[in-house]
Amino acid sequence: MVLDTILITGGSGFVAQHLIRYLQENASHKVKEIRCVDRQKFTKFLDYPNNIAVKHFTVDLKKGCEKELSAAFSGVSTVFHCARKAFEYLHNLENDFHDEYFRDNLATTELVLEAMERQKVPYLVFLGDAYANIPVGDNYGVSEEAHAGIPKSYVLGDYGESVIRAELAARRAVKEEREDGYELKGIFLRPTLVYGEGHTSLTKALIVLCKQYKNLPNIDGFNRGLHQFIYAGNLAGMMFAAMLQLQKNPKKCNGEYMYCMDSPGCVDFKNFIRPYVEASNCQMNNDVKYLQAFLISFYHEICYRIGSKQSEQQLSLLAMRFLFGWSIGFSNRKLRLLLAYFSEYDQVESMKKTVDWFAKRDQVFVEKPRLTGADRIQG
């Protein structure tokens, strides 16, 4: 049997390393080489066996790097596109991140598609975001068909727009008929909030915020801030299942997009983040009404827009409303039907394992963290 050479963009990032671990533990019979492409140096932070060769290409996904990218993509059968500029939860007076979102999300995806076409790579597993094209407000039991394209508003602002436009560009590419006969087939995964061993942009931002005050407010509110989560190990399993399905029945699943989560049940975000806060020697014992929290965030938003330093490293109004104000849930029916995947890791145990990993590390954060390409997945 011919073994696959696969490539992971954003290969130094959080989700990519969980994918590498999953493949090392479960796919040595199928994969012979893992190639990682990332502008960041690869630093292994998970324990896993070395059953599959891993090769890292330190190259940026940008114009002018076509030669290096062609070398990396040569001989590859499947690309897992994980590279992304993560959503920024905190205000930064030096950067509104608009240009970075569209460069690292949309433009990067276009370059990946070009590299795949040059090297005739047949399969793409695209990692999107469940919230990318969700409009502002509560959304319950949302199916994929309810949010197929561009919405009237974005619950995650410019970040969301850049991600859904990248997904749409890739979805067009897998439906395109080319004169040379080359066919690209792809599956598009939309994970909810991702957690797991390792630092994510979400936990980094909230712990930085918490350490400023030694406390994170416990924002009250009935049926507010209810979200779905997915363990990075389960997401990695879904990505591998998507690859297998593409190879087995590409016509059936080509162009399909689906929401990914541990289970359809929602979790109060406050209950999710509390163990991280306590593991950082902080508390969530200061009860705050949602209206009060909203007004505080609104004040910081005004400060940010006029350039006041009072807004620096404060939770943005967009992020506050998303995490604590809205309740958003999705259906996983399409995932079950097309990939026949059932979560391999229990959510309760996975969350506990994640917090234990977090607690054992010395959590040292600077006041103005730079969330870079190594954190290429929201969560």
Q: Which domains does the chain have, with CATH numbers?
A: 4-199+228-262+329-347 (3.40.50.720)
Q: What pLDDT score does 369 carry? A: 38
Q: What angle do CA 334, 337, 339 make, to 5 degrees?
A: 95
Q: How confident is the model at residue 373 (pLDDT cuts 50, 70, 90)?
A: very low
126, 188 Cβ separation under 8 angstroms: yes
Average confidence (pLDDT) over 48-56: 97
Q: What pLDDT score does 145 carry? A: 79
- Give the residue with greater pLDDT, 81 vs 295: 81
Q: What pLDDT score does 368 carry? A: 40
Q: What angle do CA 379, 163, 131 make, to 5 degrees?
A: 50
Q: What pLDDT score does 372 carry? A: 36
Average confidence (pLDDT) over 238-251: 96
Of the listed ranges 40-49, 125-134, 163-172, 279-288, the least confidently predicted one is 279-288
pLDDT at position 259 over 50: yes
pLDDT at position 375 over 70: no
Residue pLDDT, tens place only, 170-186: 999 999 999 898 999 99
Q: CA 109 to CA 61: how far, in whole Å?
A: 9
Q: How confident is the model at residue 39 (pLDDT cuts 50, 70, 90)?
A: very high
The dihedral over CA atoms of 32, 33, 34, 40, expressed in degrees to the nearest 10, equals: 160
Q: What pLDDT score does 148 carry? A: 85
Q: CA 41 to CA 204: how far, in whole Å?
A: 19
> Burial level of 115, CB count in 10 A (0-12/13-18/19+)?
buried
Average confidence (pLDDT) over 89-100: 87
Q: Which amino acid is at 83?
A: A
Average confidence (pLDDT) over 13-39: 97
**Centroid of chain to Cα 340:** 22
Q: 292 — alpha (psi -120 to 50), left (phi > 0) or beta?
A: alpha
> Which tokens is 179 given?
């004169």
The dihedral over CA atoms of 119, 172, 246, 128, expressed in degrees to the nearest 10, equals: 100
> Which tokens is 21 given?
């671990």
Average confidence (pLDDT) over 316-323: 93
Coil, strand or helix at 38: strand
φ, ψ dihedrals at 208, nearest 5°: -60, -45
Task: Note the helical H segments in the chain.
Answer: 14-26, 66-73, 98-101, 108-118, 157-175, 201-213, 232-248, 250-253, 269-279, 290-305, 317-320, 333-339, 347-360
Q: What pLDDT score does 307 carry? A: 87
pLDDT at position 374 over 50: no
Q: How confident is the model at residue 230 (pLDDT cuts 50, 70, 90)?
A: very high
Percent of the chain with pLDDT strictly greater than 90: 69
- Give the residue with greater pLDDT, 201 vs 374: 201
The dihedral over CA atoms of 268, 271, 272, 275, expressed in degrees to the nearest 10, equals: 180
pTM of the model: 0.91
Query: How long, in residues, is the chain?
Result: 379
Residue pLDDT, tens place only, 339-359: 999 999 999 999 999 999 988
- Strand-strand pairing, 123-127 and 78-81: parallel
Q: CA 151 to CA 132: how far, in whole Å?
A: 9
129, 378 Cβ separation under 8 angstroms: yes
Of the listed ranges 99-113, 235-249, 348-362, the least confidently predicted one is 348-362
Coil, strand or helix at 51: coil
pLDDT at position 193 over 60: yes
Q: CA 198 to CA 357: how far, in whole Å?
A: 8
Q: How confident is the model at residue 53 (pLDDT cuts 50, 70, 90)?
A: very high
